[in-house]
Structure 1
Amino acid sequence: MENILIVEDEFDLALNIKEILENFGYNVVGIHPEAQTALTFLETSKVDLILMDIQIKGEMDGIDLCYTIKDKYNIPIIFLTAYSDQTYLDRISNVIYDGYLLKPFKAESLKTAIYLALKSKPYAISPKDYGNLNLKIRDKGYLVPIPLNDILYLKADGLYTKIITTVKSYTVRDILKDLQEKLPDKLFIRPHKSYLVNVNKIISFNSKELIIKDTNIPIRRGFFKVLSELKE
């Protein structure tokens, strides 16, 4: 039975969703109205999927919380929101998520979204296997396997992404989000919406930026703590 966490600050709505999920055969392991308690819960609990409201209590909203969770855990996230304006859509488009449902939604729509998110969850990869893995790209008509351990960082460039390695740089016609889905989230983190970096290549960092080789890469608000825990 899959464990589902609900992050929603409307408690009555959260209880209603909990009841629906339990009728579908899922186990609701918690309901949290704000980011910090949800993050604390994740430190000690097994969660297979998160239903995330965008407008939650506290300084960090659901989109920022999604960034933080995706940088630390391999957990599918489905956004539940009453908002569909361009500002939210632009922000959501820069984060890896696994579903989006506009409130009010039907129970069957929720069931389908959860099923698809759980089915698409990638298998975990052991860090010892990273040296044997490649990111396959097309460069000038040729298929090029790039060893993951050679990648320094990736940078978004419109509809393209620049891949900076220890040997050379590549530009591929893929958005950063799509490439992130192909890479192990324990090795590659997203400190800023425009960058995906190899954790093992970080030389130093502070609350505003990190350094990889001779490049200064900005980090978003609240990410310093995440990075500090990763590099302990």
Structure 2
Amino acid sequence: MQPDTRIPAVPANRAEILTSALDGLSGAERLAAALAHPLTGRTAMVSSFGADSVVLLHLLSLVAPATPVLFIDTQMLFPETLDYQRDVAQALGLTGIRVIRARAMHLAQRDPANALHLSDPDACCDLRKTEPLARALAPFDGWISGRKRFQSGTRARLPLVEEDAGKLKINPMADWTGEEIADYIATHDLPRHPLVAKGYPSIGCAPCTSPVAEGEDPRAGRWRGRDKVECGIHFVDGRMVRGAAA
């Protein structure tokens, strides 16, 4: 009798199974359990190296520093972000950094004057973020995101684990508060993004990010004045989120 060599089917409720395994855990323990779970498969972390990204990156350095970390360089980032990315990766000993960018041919065809963000910010995000990330994630079964529920209204019901475009997405810091993040950074003496001290609690591309006033939503400075709250690489309730009404 020949052995059964068929690949076991992935459970339809794998996000729920993994959520149950992670619920009750926190910090490095939760991240380690997520990476080790048999349903997780090949996993990468996606990091913007933004305002509070250093917490999740530090947790990764404690449990699996060679994990692939995908950093999307839109070629419109603040110079401070590029410097911060290099400094943090080196300081934490993260050896799996992969800098991903839009293909030069696509930029030349669709945004030759680097002005697409002015006329169609959604198309600009597709070109410079969504499409390059989709290509980079192709070999992986899932990815780790640093999103938190407190960041904006569209993230208020963010689960620990979800299915996103056919891939498992793990949000190990979904239930962290702003106070917990600040305490962790202070306790571990982690470097802050230099723009945080200048009023940027959420940092994206330079042309589309502005400082945030006291009392505003932490992401109020992203695409200010437009009906846009996300770049399009994330889904909520199975739908791509861009505008406030999505």
- Which structure is higher in strand share? 1
- Which structure is higher in helix share? 2
Same fold flag (TM > 0.5): no
TM range (shorter): under 0.3
